[in-house]
Amino acid sequence: MPAAAPRAARAMSSAKRMREAAGAAPGDLPLDQILLGDSIQMMAGLPAGSVDLVFADPPYNLQLGGELKRPDESLVDAVDDDWDRFDSFATYDAFTRAWLLAARRALKPNGTLFVIGSYHNIFRVGAMMQDLGFWILNDIVWRKANPMPNFRGRRFTNAHETLIWAARSADAKYTFNYEALKAGNEDVQVRSDWLFPLCTGQERLKDGAGKKLHPTQKPEALLARVLLSATKPGDVVLDPFFGSGTTGAVAKRLRRSFIGIEREEAYAQAARARIDAVEPLPEDALVAPPSAREAPRVAFSVLVERGLVTPGAELTDAKGRFRAVVRADGTLALAGGQNVGSIHRVGALAQGAEACNGWTFWHVEEQGRRHPIDTLRARLRAEMGIAAE
């Protein structure tokens, strides 16, 4: 819930002290710092258009009406902290609108925002995001491998949370590491349902009494998927509800910079100690392969000119159903010679389709095995990279 004016003033003073301690001039980003104070006020002190990604895990407004008990009358360690209490939906909506506007201001034009929530709040948050001009890219289901059961047996087990991923605007040229994600997923596109267990074991932060320090600590695997999907090494990630510092710990490990904002000093101190113990991964473990858009443009005719494919060679599809002959000018001719054109046009004609990616459709035979001609293009790009060095 937004703080009163005196608290906001203290928050701004805290932000100033943190920046000075980090040696940053006024207006500079307090990179890799935890700012202690109200999230809305602290975001207002950041330079506009300065962060690459916002990950927000705001209060869910769980609306618990009292103690939550198991059938044996034992208490469930539920979220009943003051920071999750709001007087009404209207109060919560006003809070949500304020922090979304502050996050939008801090985002770069091509930045993106992830918000995580449950059925208690995520629909209200999503509608407001659209009202404020965010462009929703995906809703992602975090399916929990070990969810808390519904003890009373009156509802389905609440086994998931929802993340909304949105660009700052509809025309944003946002980061999405599609090729790297697909390669790490056995060359299959990564889906929008993610299976991760709840945060347990040694990863879970405990207080002096051995109880969990923060009731909604997120697993590091979840944040790693977010950052590996939508950021690059060196990018700046803002988390306005920093809590136990999962975002900061993962950002440091993956060599991203972070800015954390947290109103509870105990959480901030624990997060700082946690992050200080993290060792960044080696740089060569984080270099992503270039995307298809970033790779040097290579026409099929260049492969012919370089001798990787010879004029007169026969190309087929993966199963050998369709055949085409390579011409000296880099075009293809379907068997019979009546249809001539680019690798894409001839591939579409062969299938009776409107479009075709000729690079993956057409195959060349080498040593008794068929390979997509795209492998030859990749080989040539690698040679071009070596030549460029």
The predicted pLDDT at position 331 comes to 94
User: What number does CATH give the domain 29-65+75-285?
Assistant: 3.40.50.150
Query: Which pLDDT band, with edges at 50, 70 and 90, does 297 fall under?
Result: confident
Residues 6+ apart with CB under 8 A from 385: 296
The predicted pLDDT at position 198 comes to 87
Q: pTM for the complete prediction? A: 0.69
The predicted pLDDT at position 79 comes to 46
Give me 181's structure tokens.
Answer: 């994600």
Region 22-30 average pLDDT: 57
Give, in order, the Cα–Cα distances in Å from 121 to each of 3, 85, 92, 247, 348: 20, 13, 9, 21, 47
The domains of the chain are located at 29-65+75-285, 300-384
The predicted pLDDT at position 212 comes to 76
Most confident of 32-36, 69-73, 350-354: 32-36
DSSP structural state of residue 109: E
Answer with the residue of higher pLDDT: 368 or 308: 308
Q: Which stretches does DSSP call E strand in the chain?
A: 33-36, 51-56, 107-117, 135-144, 160-167, 193-196, 236-239, 257-262, 314-316, 323-326, 332-334, 340-341, 363-366, 369-372
Query: Which pLDDT band, with edges at 50, 70 and 90, does 63 fall under?
Result: low
Answer with the residue of higher pLDDT: 294 or 118: 118
Angle formed at CA 218 by CA 271 and CA 15, multiple of 5 degrees: 35
The predicted pLDDT at position 31 comes to 97
Contact 316, 347 (CB under 8 A): no
Q: Is the dihedral of CA 220, 281, 251, 126 positive or negative?
A: negative
Percent of the chain with pLDDT over 70: 83
Of the candidate ranges 111-115, 158-162, 284-288, 306-310, the one whose mean pLDDT is the lowest: 284-288
Answer with the residue of higher pLDDT: 224 or 296: 224
Of the candidate ranges 16-20, 43-47, 257-261, 369-373, the one whose mean pLDDT is the lowest: 16-20
The predicted pLDDT at position 289 comes to 65
Residues 6+ apart with CB under 8 A from 308: 376, 379, 380
The distance in angstroms from the start CA to the end CA of the chain is: 54
238-272: burial string, b at 16+ Cβ within 10 Å, e else: bbbbbbbbbbbbbbbbbbbbbbbbbbbeebbebbb
Of the candidate ranges 11-15, 209-213, 379-383, the one whose mean pLDDT is the lowest: 11-15
The neighbour count for residue 114, using CB atoms within 10 Å, is: 24
Most confident of 121-130, 281-290, 371-380: 121-130
Give, in order, the Cα–Cα distances in Å from 43 to each of 15, 120, 253, 340: 10, 25, 24, 59
Percent of the chain with pLDDT over 90: 62
Q: How many Cα neighbours within 13 Å face the side chain of 328?
A: 0
The predicted pLDDT at position 207 comes to 82
Q: How many Cα neighbours within 13 Å face the side chain of 158?
A: 13
